Amino acid sequence: MIEPTPGRVVWFWPAPNDNIPALSGRPLAALVAAVHSDRYINLSVIDAYGNHHSRQSVFLAQPEDEATPASGFAQWMPYQLGQAAKAEQLEQQLEQQLETQPSPAETPSDAAQ
């Protein structure tokens, strides 16, 4: 799960009955204005003409979600998902290296105490 924070950019998919001008089948850029939880955020959405619209308590779909709501929702951009996957892979590699490393030998200063 990617933790949302204010200032991050996400994609916003407006609901079919939303009055935000958008290109059919394409998401809109949105800036996270506030975070309620890992799943609900407030957004400043930029429409297809560059105008700003606010949306409150928008569902943020996470990568592990199998379905998205029929109402408007936000999701991470593919680049952000790729970066998160790379960071997770590096964390796992580091954990594996630390697990297989022998514990450090006692240092001379430790022995004197």
The model's pLDDT over 53-76, given as tens digits with 9 standing for 90+, comes to: 999 999 999 888 877 778 899 999
For residue 110, the model assigns a pLDDT of: 56
Spell out the domain ranges in the chain. 9-97
Using alpha carbons, select from 18, 50, 56 the residue that is nearest to residue 35: 56
For residue 109, the model assigns a pLDDT of: 61
pLDDT 10s digits, 22-42: 998 899 999 999 999 999 999
pLDDT 10s digits, 79-103: 887 676 677 777 777 777 777 877 6
* pTM score: 0.73
Element of type H or E holding 95: helix 78-100
For residue 1, the model assigns a pLDDT of: 81
Q: What is the residue whose two structure tokens read 């606010």?
A: 54
13-19 CB contacts, 8 Å cutoff, 24+ apart: 13/68, 13/72, 13/73, 13/74, 13/75, 14/45, 14/72, 15/70, 15/71, 15/72, 18/72
